[in-house]
Amino acid sequence: MLRDKIEKHLLSVQKPSRYIGGEAGSIVKDASNIDVRFAFCFPDTYDIGMSHLGMKILYSLINERENYWCERVFAPAEDFENIMRENDIPLYGLESLEAITNFDFIGFTMQYELSYTNVLNMLDLANIPIFASERGNKLGQIVCAGGPCVCNPEPLADFFDLFILGEGEEVNLELMDLYNEHKKAGSTRDEFLRAAARIEGVYVPKFYTFKYKEDGTILQLDVEDGVPKTVRKRIIKDFDNVYYPDNFVVPFTEIVHDRASVEVLRGCIRGCRFCQAGFIYRPFREKTADTIAEQTRALCENTGYDEVSLASLSTSDHSEIGDMLTKLLDYTEGNRINMSLPSLRVDNFSEELLEKIKRVRKSGLTFAAEAGTQRLRNVINKNVSEEELMNTCRIAFEGGYSSVKLYFMMGLPTETDEDIIGIADLAQRVVDLYYSIENRPKGRGVQVSISTATFVPKPFTPFEFEPQDTREEIERKQKLLVDSIKTKKIRASWHDPDVSLLEAVLAKGDRRLCRVIYTAWKKGCKFDSWGEYYRFDKWLEAFDECGVSTGFYANRRFEYDEILPWDHLDYYVSKEFFIRENKTARSAQTTPNCRLKCSACGVTKCIGGKCFDKT
């Protein structure tokens, strides 16, 4: 039995509990009573995948149906992968310990571009043909994907039968119901896929063919009859009443985010021009404070977790943030449960909010300034002034904090050396502010940490047209930043520009990258988001062998009238809006957030009404 082969080798690997299942909260069913089996695959290790909220939601949702069974599948670490290959152990589901070739759906969640080679590696471990064209016409093993990266699925199009755009709570079950019907009717794979393509939110790439110009840009997209020319994402309209699990699988081993997690809102009102998540998750929707408190209580009581995290793009933008935290604190403090909050906005930070935060978090505070000068903050539509940032730091210092972390990006559109020096100058002014406050923490020096990420232009943002700085230019700017820091009270860190280059290429690429990804994987690339595994030299070899230029995708400005690889996908925000916002950015003008004024992004037309009652 496969179980015996697995158990035989567990003591030979690190963290064997990653591979055996049986955790509290996991759901085991009798396979003989199941109509459709779904392998929910996270293309990274158990420690990371088990921290993903989307998997927890869909795992529980699918398993609510008696005749459907969702199991969890993760990428094995290298030590266990070697054992699997040496002993003919196929990739398997943790609940049944059965090979996922016995499953109907092989579903991946694509959270970041640098996990793409892991998808191919997992399919290979499962003995499933990597290319969709090689899977034959028999219905079975539908390889699908969802998540933020599928807003541009073209670099993965050759490997997947279908993609699920947008939010999965409704469309996943619709897709499984359709499959169940076709399975019982004895349909072919093509018959099922053609029917699936007519479900809103489902994109089947085999029915769409790109043609290219001599300069490499897209000439046209040909669409087969019977499928939509534009595929629109799915959204949950009644977010306050959407399904949410009251129990999670509790791992035996420590994971990255080892706590209960409650989603408080989706979408974002801000419109930061670099932020893909802020646009692809529109419209903005939130749960009521009572719903959040109820779900927090249920999760903590059922899982036994003594820590809960509030998940969102910007929790402090919740319209009932004060009432919500009061309700949560009444429960968490009384039951000795810690509560963590995500990064905070400096323009709605107050002494009242700080007092609540101090009751749940004792470490340093983190704020996203994003740029070192006001001009560049206006370019990216980061509607935060230096006065607001300094006032927030003052409140924090007077409240007993002595360390602050500031996030910035490097290589933003229109950026100059003055903007880079401005990062160091801004951090220095925060240091000076600390020592100007009489009632600052006594006996402690201030520590300001500045973290700079390389700007990556992403689809479905106003900056989707923008080029990324070259590696040489980013390295020059990094040195300029270091040279501009004059005190040890400021610490600087940054991302590897080679990693950011690959991320940009995969984010903005088209189907010609499928062969590059396959070639890189064949050369041994996997776990590309892990520093110890990342092999940029092998990726460059793959690009060279496939005759594909990284600069064509990452370092070239895309024209407004150019057909983009994702133009046939509708995420509710119009391309016309992105063009308008890109031009507005060039003049360093800002756009008000959605609560203050509707910017006509296109969402209201799609949902048939206003995003906010008081807009």
Confidence band, pLDDT 50/70/90 cuts, at residue 354: low
For residue 374, pLDDT over 60 is answered with yes
What token pair was written down for 519? 């070639």
H or E, element range at 208: strand 208-212
What token pair was written down for 153? 């699925």
Establish if 136 belongs to a structural domain.
Answer: yes
CA 190 to mean position of chain CA atoms? 31
For residue 557, pLDDT over 90 is answered with yes
Tens of pLDDT, residues 162-210:
999 999 999 999 999 999 999 999 999 999 999 999 999 999 999 999 9
Query: At 115, phi and psi to the nearest 5?
Result: -100, 5
Q: Are 452 and 492 in contact, with CB atoms under 8 Å apart?
A: yes
Confidence at residue 349, expressed as pLDDT on a 0 to 100 scale = 64
Establish if 202 belongs to a structural domain.
Answer: yes
Tens of pLDDT, residues 227-259:
999 999 999 989 999 999 999 999 998 898 889
**Strand 105-109 to strand 36-42: parallel, antiparallel, or no bridges (unpaired)?**
parallel
Query: At 11, phi and psi to the nearest 5?
Result: -75, -5
Tens of pLDDT, residues 356-366:
666 655 555 78
Confidence band, pLDDT 50/70/90 cuts, at residue 611: confident
For residue 343, pLDDT over 70 is answered with no
Confidence at residue 210, expressed as pLDDT on a 0 to 100 scale = 98
Establish if 44 belongs to a structural domain.
Answer: yes
Establish if 60 belongs to a structural domain.
Answer: yes
∠ Cα 153 232 600 (to 5°): 110
Neighbour-count burial for 68-104, b at 16+ CB within 10 Å, e otherwise: bbbbbbbbbbeebbebbeeeebbbbbbbbbbbbeebb
Of residues 525 and 140, which shows the higher confidence score? 525
Establish if 181 belongs to a structural domain.
Answer: yes
Coil vs helix vs strand at 457: coil
**What is the arithmetic mean of pLDDT over 582-593?**
96
Residue 122: which CATH number? 3.40.50.280
Of residues 416 and 397, which shows the higher confidence score? 416
Closest CA to 502 of 512, 516, 492: 516
Confidence at residue 382, expressed as pLDDT on a 0 to 100 scale = 93
Q: Are 340 and 259 in contact, with CB atoms under 8 Å apart?
A: yes
Give CA–CA dist 286/275, Å, rounded: 19
Establish if 14 belongs to a structural domain.
Answer: yes
Confidence at residue 614, expressed as pLDDT on a 0 to 100 scale = 42
**Total domains in the fold of the chain:** 1
User: What's 557's DSSP letter?
Assistant: P
Confidence at residue 347, expressed as pLDDT on a 0 to 100 scale = 66
Confidence at residue 615, expressed as pLDDT on a 0 to 100 scale = 38
Ranges of beta strands (E only) in 395-552 are 403-410, 447-454, 490-494
Confidence at residue 1, expressed as pLDDT on a 0 to 100 scale = 83
Q: Are 446 and 434 in contact, with CB atoms under 8 Å apart?
A: yes
Q: Cβ-count burial of 236 within 10 angstroms (0-12 exposed, 13-18 middle, 19+ buried)? A: middle
What range defines the domain where residue 110 resides? 2-232
**Strand 202-203 to strand 162-164: parallel, antiparallel, or no bridges (unpaired)?**
antiparallel
Confidence at residue 63, expressed as pLDDT on a 0 to 100 scale = 98
Establish if 173 belongs to a structural domain.
Answer: yes
**Rounded percentage of the chain residues whose pLDDT exceeds 90:** 82
Tens of pLDDT, residues 119-163:
999 999 999 999 999 999 999 899 999 999 999 999 999 999 999
Of residues 574 and 340, which shows the higher confidence score? 574
Establish if 427 belongs to a structural domain.
Answer: no
**Strand 338-340 to strand 365-370: parallel, antiparallel, or no bridges (unpaired)?**
unpaired
- With 0.75 as the threshold, say if the pTM is over it: yes
Average pLDDT along the chain: 93
Tens of pLDDT, residues 33-85:
999 999 999 999 999 999 999 999 999 999 999 999 999 999 999 999 999 99
Which residues does 105 contact at the CB level (< 8 Å), separation at least 6?
Answer: 36, 37, 38, 39, 141, 142, 144, 175, 176, 179
For residue 606, pLDDT over 90 is answered with no
Tens of pLDDT, residues 429-484:
999 999 999 888 777 899 999 999 999 999 999 999 999 999 999 999 999 999 99
Confidence at residue 202, expressed as pLDDT on a 0 to 100 scale = 98
For residue 351, pLDDT over 90 is answered with no
Query: At 218, phi and psi to the nearest 5?
Result: -80, 130
